[in-house]
């Protein structure tokens, strides 16, 4: 989808579909805004008729499709899309509206779309066009590479021309639209990676996918194979990956990697993102029940988000040194699998007593977090993981669980989540949770029992971050969606890309 921004009069632009975003109409007798009035005139009064009848009020996600007939409007169809109440007029309402336009246009096989938008109080043209581009591109996402023919007959939108009211805003609006496209496309790449089935998306395939993205956008990439993992004494990821015929990998992506050993010049601050990359989680010897097990192909959603995030960092030229570390492994039962009762030594030297091989995410992250901290001494570290069913029970699909040792970083992510429409919610991480995972035979055990399962998992991870400011994001509930709605497709969500970039773009020390 190609997205452009102009300030032409929407009624004069030829299009297969003219979409018009309409703020809530509180009084049907009040005059239409000048822009809506012009479209209404070109339609021969089609809009005002519907409005005075009370049939269209611009409510959230309300739509109205009209055909101009012989009137002077140059588009084949007009779709009015409601934006809802002013208090609902946040950026997410714009994403939802643009998502609705994008979906309806492709269902109507209308490849050329003009999107007329009003000025919204409190929202800059730049932020508005970013949100619109995000919603449109995210809603157009399909995962149909395994189908002979697409499921629903439709035609993707080819061009979306956003028409804003004020010509003076064009520069910033165009910058916003460009950023929105990059963010949404990066999120779609993350969705693609997590939607891939386990037989295709092995740890090695994930490494290849990361290498491909790195090459396309100019990231440094390094992949550690099993001999290297052994040399580096990464006993935790080796234990989890040991049960599978598909060997584990540690993958490192770097944006703005410092070149050579130059001693002069100020080094930009380093931020690390760490992703859980379990390409399939059968539970291992502590095998999962078979019902719903297929969903565990998306247990590398944290890793997918890290790949998407690093891609966006490169394309948006983020002025920091950003590092992505991905712990990729497949958790399978076999004669070489790790067992309940095993004690494994992580790279940090800490020993982990394995009580349940299905609590494998925290085990692979132990090595990834330690490696990130030791190798890069980052200013801050954020990990993303489909870590616990407990977090999914606590927050559902409505928020990502946040656990942290640092209030400032927590606040940055909480705000970024709000602004990007990817909500995060803080959950506790107390000394009690750390006590709950003390082991009788080793340093720590990999489960703390049923109580506060998301917090004890976070407590486990906290053993490997030292005093680096760190946030753990549990995306078990937000990484996968059971149904399609507005700009969300059923399946992998690619959650986190927009939020992390929002944080990075607003980062000032």
Which spans of this chain sit near ligand BES (rule: CB under 6 A)? 281, 299, 356, 358-361, 386-390, 392, 447, 453, 476
| Of 169 and 281, CB closest to ligand BES | 281
**Backbone phi, psi, residue 278, to 5°:** -80, 110
Please, what is the minimum distance in Å from the beta carbon of residue 440 to ligand BES?
17
Binding of Zn ion by 361 (CB under 5 A): yes
Nearer to ligand BES among residue 135 and residue 477 (C-beta): 477
Q: Segment 287-316, which members bind Zn ion (CB under 5 A)? A: 299
- φ, ψ (nearest 5 deg) of residue 3: -115, 125
DSSP character for 266?
A: P
- List the single partner that 458 binds among Mn ion, ligand BES, Zn ion, none, CB under 5 to 8 Å by kind: none
Shortest separation between residue 460's beta carbon and ligand BES, angstroms: 10
Of 330 and 422, CB closest to Zn ion? 330
330 lies in the site for Zn ion, by CB under 5 A: no
Helix (H, G, I), strand (E, B) or coil at 492: strand
Residues 239, 263 contacting (CB under 8 angstroms): no
If one counts every other C-beta atom within 10 angstroms of the C-beta of residue 45, the result is 12
Q: Are 68 and 52 in contact (CB under 8 A)?
A: no
CB of residue 284 to Zn ion, shortest distance in Å: 10
- In the bound state with ligand BES, the residue whose beta carbon lies nearer, of 90 and 358, is 358
Residue 364 CB contacts under 8 Å (≥ 6 apart), including other chains: 236, 237, 240, 241, 248, 276, 277, 278, 327, 329
How far, in Å, CA of 334 to CA of 338, rounded? 9
Query: Does 288 qualify as catalytic in the annotation?
Result: yes
Residue 405 corresponds to which tokens in the numbers above?
């040792």
Taking the CA atoms of residue 309, residue 315, residue 317 and residue 318 in that order, the dihedral angle to the nearest 10 degrees is -10
Closer residue to ligand BES (CB): 157 or 454: 454
Q: Distance between CA 254 and CA 264 in Å, rounded?
A: 20
Minimal CB distance residue for ligand BES: 389
Q: Nearer Cβ to ligand BES, position 206 or 312?
A: 206
Catalytic residue, candidates 362, 434, 445, 489: 362
| Residues lying near Mn ion in the complex (CB under 5 A) | 281, 358
How far apart are CB 281 and Zn ion at their closest, in Å? 4
CB of 276 to Mn ion, least distance (A): 10
Q: Return d(Cα 164, Cα 121) in angstroms, integer.
A: 14
Decide which of Mn ion, Zn ion, ligand BES, none touches 392; Cβ closer than 5 to 8 Å per partner kind: ligand BES
Given the residues 57, 222, 288, 350, select the one marked as catalytic: 288
196, 281, 353, 419: residue in contact with Zn ion (rule CB under 5 A): 281
As a whole number of angstroms, the distance between CA 369 and CA 403 comes to 15
- Which ranges in 251-329 belong to alpha helices (H)? 301-315
How far apart are CB 331 and Zn ion at their closest, in Å?
Answer: 6
DSSP characters for 342-397?
-EEE-TTS-EEE-S-TT--HHHHHHHHHHHHHHHH--SEEEEEE---HHHHHHHGG
Which residue's CB comes closest to Mn ion?
358
The listed partner (ligand BES, Zn ion, Mn ion, none) that binds 388, CB under 5 to 8 Å by sort, is: ligand BES
Give the separation between CA 127 and CA 115, rounded to whole angstroms. Answer: 16
Q: Judge contact between 452 and 433, C-beta under 8 A.
A: yes
249 catalytic? Reply is: no
Catalytic residues: 288, 362
Q: Which residues bind Zn ion (CB under 5 A)?
A: 278, 281, 299, 361
């Amino acid at each position: 989808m190609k997205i452009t921004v102009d300030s032409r009069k929407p009624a004069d632009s030829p299009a297969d579909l003219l979409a018009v975003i309409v703020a809530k109409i509180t009084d049907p007798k009040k005059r239409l805004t000048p822009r809506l009035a012009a479209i209404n005139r070109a339609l021969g009064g089609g809009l005002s008729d519907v409005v005075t009848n009370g049939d269209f009020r611009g409510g959230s996600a309300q739509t109205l499709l009209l055909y101009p007939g012989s009137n002077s409007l140059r588009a084949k169809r007009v779709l009015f899309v409601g934006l809802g109440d002013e208090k609902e007029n946040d950026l997410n309402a714009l994403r939802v509206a643009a998502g609705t336009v994008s979906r309806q246009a492709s269902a109507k096989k209308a490849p050329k779309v003009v999107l007329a938008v009003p000025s919204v109080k409190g929202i800059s043209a730049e932020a508005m066009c970013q949100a619109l581009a995000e919603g449109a591109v995210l809603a157009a996402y399909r995962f149909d590479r395994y189908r002979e023919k697409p499921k629903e007959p439709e035609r993707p939108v080819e061009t979306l021309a956003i028409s804003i009211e004020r010509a003076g805003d064009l520069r910033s609006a165009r910058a916003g639209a460009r950023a929105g496209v990059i963010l949404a496309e990066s999120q779609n790449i993350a969705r693609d990676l997590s939607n891939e089935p386990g037989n295709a998306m092995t740890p090695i395939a994930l490494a290849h996918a990361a290498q491909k993205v790195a090459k396309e956008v100019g990231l440094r990439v390094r992949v550690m194979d099993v001999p290297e993992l052994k040399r580096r004494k990464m006993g935790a990821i080796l234990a989890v990956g040991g049960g599978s015929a598909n060997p584990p990998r540690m993958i490192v992506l770097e944006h703005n990697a410092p070149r050579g050993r130059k001693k002069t010049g100020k080094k930009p601050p380093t931020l690390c993102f760490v992703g859980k990359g379990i390409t399939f989680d059968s539970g291992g010897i502590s095998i999962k029940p078979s019902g719903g097990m297929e969903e565990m192909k998306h247990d590398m959603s944290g890793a997918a988000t890290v790949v998407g995030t690093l891609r966006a960092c490169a394309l948006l030229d983020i002025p920091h040194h950003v590092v992505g570390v991905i712990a990729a492994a497949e958790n399978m039962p076999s004669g070489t699998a790790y067992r309940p009762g095993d004690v494994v030594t992580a790279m940090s030297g800490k020993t982990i007593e394995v009580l349940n091989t299905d609590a494998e995410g925290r085990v692979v992250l132990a090595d990834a977090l330690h490696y990130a901290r030791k190798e890069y001494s980052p200013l801050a570290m954020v990990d993303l993981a489909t870590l616990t069913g407990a977090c999914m029970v606590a927050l559902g699909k409505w928020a990502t669980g946040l656990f942290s040792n640092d209030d400032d970083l927590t606040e940055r992510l909480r705000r970024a989540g709000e602004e990007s429409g990817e909500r995060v919610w803080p959950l506790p991480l107390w000394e009690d949770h750390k006590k709950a995972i003390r082991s009788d035979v080793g340093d720590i055990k990999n489960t703390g029992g049923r109580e506060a399962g998301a917090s004890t998992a976070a407590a486990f991870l906290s053993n490997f971050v030292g005093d680096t400011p760190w946030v753990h994001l549990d995306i078990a509930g937000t990484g996968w969606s059971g149904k399609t709605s507005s700009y969300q497709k059923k399946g992998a969500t690619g959650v986190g890309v927009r939020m992390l970039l929002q944080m990075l773009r607003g980062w000032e020390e």
